[in-house]
Amino acid sequence: MKRALYVLWAVAFALGAWGVWERLTLGHRLAGYGSYVVWGLWVSAYIYLVGLSAGAFLLSSLVYVFGLQRLERIGKLALFTAIVTLLVALLSIWFDLGHMARFYRVFTSPNFSSMMAWMIWLYTAYFVLLLAEAYLAFRPDLVRWSRDAARTPIQRVVARWLTLGRTALDPATVAAEGRAVRILGTIGVPLAVAFHGGVGALFATVSAKLYWHQSIVPILFLTGALVSGGGLLTAVVAFAWAPRDDAWRQLTALLGRLLLVLVLVDVLLEWAEFSIPLWYGTSPEGHLLRQVLWGPYWWVFWIVHLGLGTAIPTILLVARGRDPIAVGTAGLLVAATFMSVRLNVVIPAQLEPALRGLERAFVGPRLVFQYAPTVHEWLVTLFVLTVGAALFWLGARILPLIDAKEVVR
């Protein structure tokens, strides 16, 4: 089984690397977006992945800020998940830039009135905070790993390097670092809410796009982050935790209950998002919502999102909430299919001409109000996902993500 997964990953990485080579040598020529539909699969993937990061971090705050002891064993795993998903999210949006080499100019030539610039600065602050909090949370275990003869030489060397020379394990030092983790986590909660709510606000403040210009959009981004991040963590704990003991069963059952609540809250908000504009059928964005429900890509909403990502996980969590494999399957479905939600946020609003007749005023292959991701775009996204999978694999082997004795080998 492991060998098959390694082969599958290698094939996917090779295909993704080919897509990246095309992106670096041919620019945007092979992408399906153009002058009217300017945001496509890579922006959707970025929003999806950064939501996973925010959700994982907010769940880690239940441990480090609010002291929820029953989730303490996954605190470091949640922090690591937040770091990895943030890195691959930024990798995805980097491929979408017109001039990839100029990304640094948002720092050297700042525009203080740009919502996007503020969002990037918030990302930077969030990333620095994540690294600092992770260092303090991991350091005691890293020191123990560096001295543990049962660890492999690579694990000991990496652990020693990551301690940055701080090897003290006396109670006063560990307690002081615990307080620092709590302070950083407390700062991080509003920061995570601000930057991911800011992503929602980035869409919601575009008044020319009525589909996005709704006050509920930033809230939907936050709940979506919690749902998808909670689903990912639940799946990781259910499928990558060892040994499969009573503690594992209790933890997966608790995560399953938490995930069920988050899914139901998200469904309630989504019902409000769709039902209110469609109630009388006169809302200006109603036809775009009907496109999501009944348009050419109706199956993305009904089958992928509501069927695979909501109904089946809900049934599994209600009927088999004490079965770790069923709970893990529910979490995996929720996390994986949430990409469909992000696609339905980004794409439909751009399919409507801003001016009546604009679609006929200028004609060209890039001047169309249609979009479907090309094979090239999927390959680049595949590369991003395989990089994330590789980082998770590497972290599970060289870092004390769960507990020194419980990491799957």
CB distance 377 to 26 below 8 Å: no
pLDDT score at 403: 56
What is the chain's length?
409
**What does the alpha-carbon distance between residue 378 and residue 31 come to, in Å, rounded to a whole number?**
10
Helix (H), strand (E), coil (C) string for the chain: CHHHHHHHHHHHHHHHHHHHHHHHHHCCCCCCCCCCCCCCHHHHHHHHHHHHHHHHHHHHHHHHCCCCHHHHHHHHHHHHHHHHHHHHHHHHHHHHCCCHHHCCHHHHCCCCCCHHHHHHHHHHHHHHHHHHHHHHHHHHHHHHHHHCCCCCHHHHHHHHHHCCCCCCCCHHHHHHHHHHHHHHHHHHHHHHHHHHHHHHHHHHCCCCCCCCCCCCHHHHHHHHHHHHHHHHHHHHHHHHECCCCHHHHHHHHHHHHHHHHHHHHHHHHHHHHHHHHHCCCCCCCHHHHHHHHHCCCHHHHHHHHHHHHHHHHHHHHHHCCCCHHHHHHHHHHHHHHHHHHHHHHHCHHHHCCCCCCHHHHCCCCCCCCCCCCCHHHHHHHHHHHHHHHHHHHHHHHHCCCCCCCCECC
Query: Cis omega before residue 243 (within 30°)?
Result: yes
**pLDDT tens digit sequence for 113-125:** 877 788 788 888 8
How many alpha carbons fall within 13 Å on the CB side of residue 10?
6
Distance of CA 191 to the CA centre of its chain: 16
pLDDT score at 242: 66
**pLDDT tens digit sequence for 15-37:** 999 999 999 999 989 998 888 88
Q: Which two tokens stand for residue 39?
A: 């945001």
- What value does the mean pLDDT of the chain take? 87
Please name the amino acid found at residue 317.
L
Q: Which two tokens stand for residue 372?
A: 């479907």
pLDDT score at 222: 86
**What does the alpha-carbon distance between residue 209 and residue 164 come to, in Å, rounded to a whole number?**
49
Distance of CA 275 to the CA centre of its chain: 27
**pLDDT tens digit sequence for 252-285:** 999 999 999 999 999 999 998 888 888 877 777 7
**Among positive and negative, which fits the CA dihedral 218, 368, 371, 23?**
negative
Residues 334-337: contacts with CB within 8 Å, 24+ apart?
A: 334/227, 334/228, 334/230, 334/231, 334/234, 334/259, 334/263, 334/309, 334/310, 335/52, 335/228, 335/229, 335/231, 335/232, 335/235, 336/309, 337/304, 337/305, 337/308, 337/309
* C-alpha dist (Å) from residue 301 to 270, 308, 309: 12, 10, 10
User: Model's pTM, two decimal places?
Assistant: 0.88
pLDDT score at 58: 84
- Which of 220, 201, 204 minimizes the C-alpha distance to 212? 204
Contact residues for 376 (Cβ-Cβ < 8 A; gap 6+): 19, 22, 23, 30, 31
Low-confidence ranges of the chain (pLDDT < 70): 242-243, 403-409
CB distance 233 to 81 below 8 Å: yes
